Amino acid sequence: MQFLASLLLAATAVQAHYTFPRLVVNGKAEEKDWSATRMTKNANSKQGIENPTVADIRCYQSQNAANVVTVPAGATIHYISTQQVNHPGPTQYYLAKVPSGASVTSWDGSGAVWFKIFTTMPKVDQNKQMTWPAQNEYKTVNATIPKATPDGDYLLRVEHIALHMASQANKAQFYLSCSQIKITGGGSGSPGPLAAFPGAYKSNDPGILVDLNKIAGAPDTYQPPGPAVWSG
């Protein structure tokens, strides 16, 4: 009993929290952490955000970044994670176009400007074990920048929502960061629907206040929060 209790304690202590300090584009990572990706307030603590209606849900940033990464439309992107992304939950990517007259190195991403380009869904294996794409990896899942995305400067937002405690209100954990990018070779699409952060999520959205055990028999019924995906 004593042994079991200390095992459980140890397991709690190593419960992973994580940050996404480096964007990888077609296999090439930012040279160092937080160069085009804006440093987040949890860079040291690694704590997630639990209330999805706070201002930090947008980029969680403590400062802007110095660099801008060029991203060809159609490129494959992912993020390096500082820790294993071990919690169950979806990974989502959003883009927001920098308005004319503003700079990608200082624009704050406010307003209904964000469109979603990618999300993930759970799978359940024969043993009724639920898994999510890229779960337990030291990086986030790959996504493609839609070919039809118009050229220009954008903020790219990555998010992993940890749902292991999400059956209680404001206990989902949001891990995220935003990168400053320039999209080239793009198309003439009209991305949307557009949403604001905060605003896109409510604490009781069905994909945020959710008991994963209850959907284990029907993983396709999971509803990722936020607007529909724009795939170009």
Ligand X SMILES: *[C@@H]1O[C@H](CO)[C@@H](O)[C@H](O)[C@H]1NC(C)=O
51 or 142, CB closer to ligand X?
142
SS3 169: coil
Site residues (CB under 6 A) for ligand X, limited to 125-184: 142
**Can you tell me which of 27, 106, 128, 218 binds ligand X, judged by CB under 6 A?**
27
Going through 99-222 in order, the beta strands assigned E by DSSP cover 114-118, 123-124, 130-131, 143-144, 152-162, 173-184
Contacts of 101-108 spanning 24+ positions with Cβ under 8 A:
103/153, 104/68, 104/153, 104/154, 104/155, 104/180, 104/181, 104/182, 105/64, 105/65, 105/66, 105/68, 105/180, 106/64, 107/155, 108/58
Stretch that binds ligand X, among 19-27, 35-43, 46-54, 123-131 (CB under 6 A): 19-27
**Can you tell me which of 76, 184, 204, 231 binds ligand X, judged by CB under 6 A?**
76
Task: Report how far Cα 102 is from the mean position of its chain's Cα atoms.
Answer: 24
* Per-residue binder mask for ligand X (CB under 6 A), 89-128, x = binder: ----------------------------------------
End-to-end CA distance of the chain: 56
| # residues near ligand X by CB under 6 A | 6
74 or 193, CB closer to ligand X?
74
**Can you tell me which of 6, 26, 103, 184 binds ligand X, judged by CB under 6 A?**
26
In the complex, the smallest distance separating the C-beta of residue 165 from ligand X, rounded to whole angstroms, is 28
> Which positions touch ligand X (CB under 6 A)?
24, 26-27, 76, 78, 142
